[in-house]
Chains A and B, each alone.
Chain A
């Protein structure tokens, strides 16, 4: 942590989570006449005022294209844009700004690697190893790559609690395994994977490791060098920033060896009709005008997160999850939890006997409680537990016990309606 952010951390530490909630305007509204209890953070989190203000400022006064103009506005926009890159680098402890590539989100970051690295690295008979708990965005890009190259997609199983079977994972690592792609935190189950150990095992087998960090960033302080992963992908909108922007972190040596992903402006040095030469990192992978305002918003979200004490965040969220789990199982009849791994973050997935998840979602919504219902873009997980869909409440540091109580009351209403 830099001295500046250490200073800023002090006032935040004194503020309890009740007052942090005041920073998020969306949380202070009524839905269907009831105060909002927002428990759909794993789908998208709310942004604090600081993010809205930074984006408005960028839009209203500093808007211009980056890396081009010699005029003042372009210089300001470029400074804000590249300043956000530096914030990201520092936040995730990457070595160089060349390793921070802005994308549309986690999905595009994974597709970038699958397309660029996969194309040169995979041969027929090679394998890509994923886990059973992956989001579709960490399955389908690899499937497409395997179809293109004749490589095989191998899946490491999970146990009945939703934890990865590490022994099976290691057993599936062979000399054929060229790429390993794993979620840091499962969006459907909340399971936190031991990614540092998995990365080390994959490296011993000679594989390159990509971690899907979309669900980890809002809950954990991630250190990519500590994890030693080759790639780490995440989205701004799940960590209190805006939609439409994400990050691919990649080790410099690997990124340098990879061909461009998309062609266009900003990613070239020279263009003739015969051939083009490509720009240096990270610009080689950033074709076209980027989401400048979104990146500035991400920078502001990181400034906000820098002021949080993540040990306190983890403790608060663990308490909430424990409370919610206890109340759900004790006070709502017929509940079955989906995802009960020992190490979880922020997600409570469940089904209730005789009531489909969509009906639960509609009923609690009328009580002002926002949850996600459906397959959570993780159909293999649903199949694994033999359910078509689950209801999922997911927490951020700004949630509190009252949000949980409201959820429980909403679910009790659903049971009352359905069981009469």
Chain B
């Protein structure tokens, strides 16, 4: 597998082609706009937080394959998760994308595919945008906008 295949793994390409949970969420109680000013990518994250859980989640917007797949994989994974578990997952994904630890964090399952960006410093922000939006959405004092800068 060469570098490019490492980055564009089948699961990434699949989620880019057919993003899951794509579109507006009518009964969202948290709506966050995520912007990557470097490339002009924009995504809106819709989250319904209730009973200490991410009850429902969706996103829409434009972006590269990495950013769309990251958003799609994220929504698929955190739907139904408790807020503490979601925050814990955020930290794990953060470590995965930045290579903060030498070993790959455990229990990432499909999300491990995002690890390919580590070799592409300019693309880390593409993968992390959705996650920063999610973290802002479930905060006690949610923001309405996040940027990667």
Residues in chain A within 8 A of chain B (CB atoms): 32, 354-359, 362-363, 366, 373-375, 379, 382, 388-389, 413, 417-418, 420
Contacts and interface: CB of A to CB of B under 8 A. Distances in A.
Given A374-B40, A417-B13, A420-B13, A356 B3 contact: no
B13 to A, nearest CB: 6
Contacts of A417: 4-5, 8, 13
B39 A358 contact: yes
Interface of B: 2-5, 7-8, 13, 16-17, 38-42, 62-66, 68, 120, 122-123, 126
A418 B123 contact: no
Contacts of B126: 358
Contact of B62 (A388, A413, A418): A388
Contacts, number: 55
Given A417-B4, A417-B13, A388 B41 contact: yes
Contacts of A420: 13
Contact of A374 (B17, B38, B42): B38
A389 B4 CA distance: 21
B40 A362 contact: no
Nearest to A374: B39
A356 B40 contact: no
A379 B17 CA distance: 26
Most buried by A among B42, B65, B123: B65
Contacts of B3: 32, 366
Q: Most chain-B CB neighbours within 10 Å: which of A356, A359, A375, A417?
A: A359
A358 B2 CA distance: 19
Contact of B40 (A32, A363, A375): A375
A373 B40 CA distance: 11
B40 A418 contact: no
Nearest to B17: A354
B13 A382 contact: no
A366 B7 CA distance: 11
11 contacts: A358-B126, A362-B7, A362-B122, A366-B2, A374-B40, A375-B40, A388-B40, A388-B41, A389-B40, A417-B5, A418-B65
Nearest to B5: A417
A359 B39 contact: no
A375 B35 CA distance: 14
Given A358-B126, A418-B65, A363 B39 contact: no
B39 A362 contact: no
A413 B8 CA distance: 12
Contacts of A418: 8, 13, 16, 65
Contacts of A389: 39-41
Contacts of A32: 3
Nearest to B42: A388
Given A374-B38, A388-B41, A418-B13, A358 B123 contact: yes
Given A366-B3, A418-B13, A359 B66 contact: yes
B60 to A, nearest CB: 13
